[in-house]
Amino acid sequence: MELALFDLDNTLLSGDSDYEWAQFLIEEGVLERDRYEALNQRFYEQYQAGRLDIFEFLDFQLAPLARYSREQLDRWHQRFMERKIRPIIREKGLALVRGHQERGSLCAIITSTNAFVTGPIAREIGVGHLLATEIEEVDGRFTGRARGTPCFREGKILRLEAWLREQGREVRSFAASWFYSDSRNDLPLMERVTRPVAVDPDEVLERTARERGWDVISLE
């Protein structure tokens, strides 16, 4: 059996679900535009540059979730899926996932974006396993804090290893292990698999991939 891991934002999606969720809340009037739009853009640029402080970002991203009931958040998320996410799901990305599934690969989306935002997206794409940043809940409400290790940079390796360990597996037990990503932030995990694939990569990842002979593809 092979292992196939897929980054989500700017890989299977032609956009960033983290960024789009904040923009959606701004457009809905939930977040104050002047303050949150500037912060959202700043964090996105830091991520692209490989300089994101994940804990500072999570404080920004998760705090609004603690202010509202899960029912209200779910209603917003349904509109978010329709307005922001379905238009940016890449058809070639869907075909790539289906190809691995048809070959019998163990498939998972692994993303730094939190599980509330990405859970419905993974279901829409048709991937049953999601490794994402988890959010703390108390009595059915989000607290606005992350739970456990954020699924970011080296944290993706830790989360993947823990998930596989629950199944009595490890990365090297697979005949081949694939990871598709666009971002320099995913280099730690790409170095752990046997078949790293750069997807419409940023400059740093593209240069690294070319130097190391990794596959470089486009899903646009």
Long-range Cβ pairs for the range 194-203 (8 Å, 24+): 199/7, 199/10, 199/11, 200/10, 200/11, 202/48
DSSP one-letter code for 50: T
What mean pLDDT is predicted for residues 112-135? 98
Distance CA 160, CA 156 (A): 6
Closest CA to 137 of 75, 60, 76, 66: 66
Distance CA 100, CA 95 (A): 9
Q: How confident is the model at residue 99 (pLDDT cuts 50, 70, 90)?
A: very high
Tokens of 142: 């989000």
In this prediction, residue 181 carries a pLDDT of 98
Grade residue 34 by pLDDT with cuts at 50, 70 and 90.
Answer: confident
- Residue 53, SS3 per DSSP: coil
Using CA atoms, how far apart are residues 84 and 88, in angstroms rounded to an integer?
Answer: 7
Per-residue pLDDT averaged across 22-34, rounded?
94
Confidence tier at 110 by pLDDT (50, 70, 90): very high
Over the chain, what is the mean pLDDT?
96
Residues 6+ apart with CB under 8 A from 58: 114, 133, 145, 146, 150
Extract the tokens encoding 18: 């983290």
Quick one: average pLDDT of 167-178? 97
Q: Each residue of 128-154: pLDDT tens digit?
A: 999 999 999 999 899 999 999 999 999
Residues with catalytic annotation? 7, 9
Q: Structural domains in the chain?
A: 2-217 (3.40.50.1000)
| Residue 173 pLDDT | 95
Instruction: Say if residue 35's pLDDT is above 90.
Output: no
- pLDDT for residue 47: 92
Contact 5, 179 (CB under 8 A): yes
- What pLDDT sits at residue 4? 98
pLDDT of residue 8 exceeding 90, the answer is: yes
